[in-house]
Structure 1
Amino acid sequence: MSDNASSPRTLPWPARPGARTWRCDPAPAEVRDFHTALPGHSPTPLTELPPLAAELVVGRVFVKDESRRLGLPAFKALGASWAVHRTLAERAASRKEPGPVTLVTATDGNHGRAVARMARLLGQHAHVFVPQGVHPQAVAAIVAERAKVTEVPGPYDEAVRLAAEEAAGPDAVLVQDTAWPGYEQIPGWIVEGYSTLCAEIDEQLAAQGVVEGPDLVAIPVGVGSLAQAVVTHYRSRPSGRAPALLSVEPEAAACVLESLTLGEPVSVTTGDTIMAGLNCGTPSSIAWPYLYGGLDAAVAIPDADSARAAAHLAVLGVSSGPCGAAALAGLRAVLTGVGAEERRTALGLGSDSVAVLLSTEGTAANPSAC
C-alpha cells in the first residue's frame, strides 16, 4: 500500500485485539552473554529520526540499524552464530571421531553468508543453496566466505527442500532458519539468537528516556523467525508496556498475512520482489503459534513503497536495503490512507507514542537480501 494518503486502495488488515495479553516463556539469558563474548561484537545503533515521527504523527520513531552486525550487513549473524555454536557443541559431545562437518543451508542472501562465515571461522565446510532471483553480488559474497554455492532455478521453498536433502549425510547438518514438523531444534536456536537484538533495544531506549519500552515495533517478515523472537521478547516481559507488534511482508509473498487472515498456516505462491530476503511462501512451523498468538496486525506492501522508504532512510543517514526499509513502508501504509484512523486506534497509537522500526539489513554488501 502506498504512503500516499489519497490512495483509493483498500489495505488488507487482519487485526488481533487479544495479542497484547498473549504470553510465552522468555529466550535463554545465556544467548546475550555468548554474543557479547564474540570477537568484534558491539550493539548495533538505535537511531532516533524525528522527521519520521512528525510524518507519522507519533511522539518518537527509532530505527534499529542492522547494517553492520558482527562484521556482516544484517542481523542474521546473531541467529547463525548461536545455532552453529549449539550444533557443533552437541555433535562434539555425541561423535566418537570429531572432524569437519558441512553446514548446509538455503538462503536469500544474508543467512547463508552468516552460516558460511561461521563455518570458515570454525574450520568447517559450508554448502549454500540459493533460489532464483537472488542478486549476483549476494551470491558472490557467500562464495567469498569459501562456501560451495548451488543456484536453484526455483523459489526459496525449493531451495530449502534441496538443502535438506543434501544435509541427509552423516558429515553434514542443516542449519536452516525456517522449521517444519520434524525439523525444529536448530531453527529454534536461530530464533533464540535473535533475542540479543531485542535486549539491546530495551537498553538503548532506556538510555534515551523510554524506560517502559516502545508502543509499537514494526518487523519485516519472511518465514517469521525474527518476528517469533520479537514476540517472545515482548510477550514474556513481566513489566513495562506490551507494545503493538506489526509484521510487514511483500505483496508478492504475504504468507503470514494470509495465514493470519485464515487463522491457520498456509503456503502461498510467491512472485518477484526486490525484497528478496522476505520472498518466502510458507511460515515457519515453530514461528506460527507465536505469530498467531502475539502479532497485533500484518500488512503487505508493494516494491515501490519499500524502495521509497529505503531512499528516505538513506537521506536521514540510515543504510537500509529493501527488506530493512519494509518496516517503515509498512508503518506508513498503516498510518495513512483509507481507514488509517481505525488502524491507529486498533494499534493503540497516539501523538505521544514511541515506534521502533527494525531495519534488518544494509545496502552495501548484499543488495536485496535479508
Structure 2
Amino acid sequence: RYLAQYLGIPADEMTYERLRAPENRERLRGVTLVTATDGNHGRGIAWAAKLFGIFAHVFMPKGGSPERLANIRGLGAEASFTTYNYDDTVRYASQMAQEKGWVLVQDTAFDGYTERPQWIMQGYSTLAHEAMEQYAEMPTHIFLQAGVGSLPGAITGYFAAHYGAERPVITIVEPNRADCIYRTAAANDGESHIVTGEIGSIMAGLSCGEPNPLAWEILRDYADHFVSVPEWVAAKGMRILGNPLDDDLRVVSGESGAVTTGLVAELMQNASLDYLRDAIGLTKDSRILCISTEGDTDRTNYRRVVWDGLYPSF
C-alpha cells in the first residue's frame, strides 16, 4: 500500500505486474525501507525490497542468529546487529527512519505510528482465511504464539469478525522470558506490562517485551486464555512436528513456530495440567488449529534441539 501511495496509484488499482513495470521500478529506486527484526519479518522486507528494486536496512537485536542475519544479507539488504534488545532496536530503527528519511515498516504500533502496523496485521489475517478454506469443520480451539501480539491479534480479529460468539476458543502462548501480553492480561489494570532487559529465549521471534497496543485491544476483548511457557515446551513441539506418527506429515518448524504444538501436547499428556486443559475445554474430540510461523531458519539451533535434545521435556 505504501508503494502504491508513493507512486500515486489507488491501492485497488495496484497489481503486482504494475509494481514490477520498468517505469515504476525506476521511480521506486528513491525508496529505502527500514525495520527491526529477530528474523522472519526482516527477511520478508529484504525479499520484497529485492523484488521491487528498492533498498532496505534491517536491524537485529543483540544475541540474534548469525544465520538469520546472513539470510537477510543474502537478499541484498543492509543488515546488522545492534547493541539493544528487540524493543529498543525498534526504537532505533524508527530513529534512523526519521533522521535519514527512510520508510519504517514495523509490525508494532506506537504513538504516531499505527497505519502500517494495521496493514501488516491485515496481511497476517490471510493466514486465517487460507486455513478456513482448508477446514471441513471449524476448529474448536486455536493456539496462537505471541511476540508483540500482531499475528495473534490479526487471527483473533478475523475469527471474532467472521464468527462472533461462535468463534473457536483462542489461547495465546508466550515464552516465560518475554510474556508481556500474559502479564498485561493477568494484571487486568488497563496498563501495558512490559519485560525489559535481555530476554534470551530460544523463541527469538517471540522475544518481545512490549505489546502492540493495536493487537492488545483485540486480544483483550476476544482471546480466551493466556499462557506463559518455559523453553522446553517449544523444543518439544519442534521434536513432535519433526518426527510424526503414522501418516501425519512431517513439519520442520522452528522454535517460535512449534511452541503451540508443544503446549497442546503437554496439556493432553501431563496430568499436572489437567486444570488448565479443563479450563480451555480440550478433549480427545477437539479440532485444534496451530500455525507454524517459521521453518528451520536457524539450522544449527534446530539440530541442537531436534538431534541433540537441547531443552529436554522429561
Please confirm whether the aligned pair reaches a TM-score higher than 0.5, indicating the same fold.
yes
Q: What is the DSSP-based 3-state SS (H/G/I as helix, E as strand, rest coil) of the residue aligned with 2:76? A: coil
Over aligned residue pairs, what C-alpha RMSD do you find? 2.1
- CA distance in 2: counterparts of 1:247 and 1:99, whole angstroms: 40
Q: How far apart are residue 195 of structure 1 and its match? A: 1.3
2:170 corresponding residue in structure 1: 245
Q: What is the DSSP-based 3-state SS (H/G/I as helix, E as strand, rest coil) of the residue aligned with 2:8? A: helix
Structure 1 position 297 matched with structure 2 position 246: no
1:107 corresponding residue in structure 2: 37
Q: How far apart are residue 105 of structure 1 and its match? A: 0.1
Structure 1: 5+ residue stretches without partners: 1-85
Amino acid at match of 2:224: D
Name the TM-score, length of structure 1 as normaliser: 0.70
Q: How far apart are residue 233 of structure 1 and its match? A: 1.0
8 A Cα contact 1:181 1:285, kept in partner = no
- CA distance in 1: counterparts of 2:192 and 2:218, whole angstroms: 12
Structure 1 position 161 matched with structure 2 position 91: yes
2:69 corresponding residue in structure 1: 139
Q: 1:255 to 1:120 in 2, by over 3 A?
A: same
- CA distance in 2: counterparts of 1:192 and 1:367, whole angstroms: 33
Q: What does 1:182-193 align with in structure 2 at a 5 Å threshold?
A: 182-193=112-123
- CA distance in 2: counterparts of 1:339 and 1:312, whole angstroms: 20
8 A Cα contact 1:255 1:267, kept in partner = yes
- CA distance in 1: counterparts of 2:171 and 2:227, whole angstroms: 8
Identity rate, percent = 38
Q: 1:109 to 1:282 in 2, by over 3 A?
A: same
After superposition, give the CA deviation of every residue in 1:130-161 in whole Å (9 maximum; x if it has no partner). 10121100000010111111311121011101
Structure 1 position 202 matched with structure 2 position 132: yes
8 A Cα contact 2:178 2:199, kept in partner = yes
Q: 1:189 to 1:89 in 2, by over 3 A?
A: same
Q: 1:175 to 1:127 in 2, by over 3 A?
A: same
- CA distance in 2: counterparts of 1:255 and 1:240, whole angstroms: 26
Q: How far apart are residue 327 of structure 1 and its match? A: 0.8
Q: What does 1:76-115 align with in structure 2 at a 5 Å threshold?
A: 86-93=1-8, 99-115=29-45
Name the TM-score, length of structure 2 as normaliser: 0.82
Amino acid at match of 2:228: A
Q: Which has the higher helix share?
A: 2
Q: 1:98 to 1:343 in 2, by over 3 A?
A: closer
Q: How far apart are residue 241 of structure 1 and its match? A: 3.9
Q: How far apart are residue 339 of structure 1 and its match? A: 5.8
After superposition, give the CA deviation of every residue in 1:66-85 in whole Å (9 maximum; x if it has no partner). xxxxxxxxxxxxxxxxxxxx
8 A Cα contact 1:335 1:343, kept in partner = no
Q: How far apart are residue 249 of structure 1 and its match? A: 0.9
Higher relative contact order (CA 8 A, sep 6+): 1
Number of residue pairs the alignment of both structures matches: 277
Structure 2: 5+ residue stretches without partners: 10-26, 245-249, 303-314
Structure 1 position 323 matched with structure 2 position 256: yes
After superposition, give the CA deviation of every residue in 1:67-126 in whole Å (9 maximum; x if it has no partner). xxxxxxxxxxxxxxxxxxx111112229xx864211000000010010011011111100
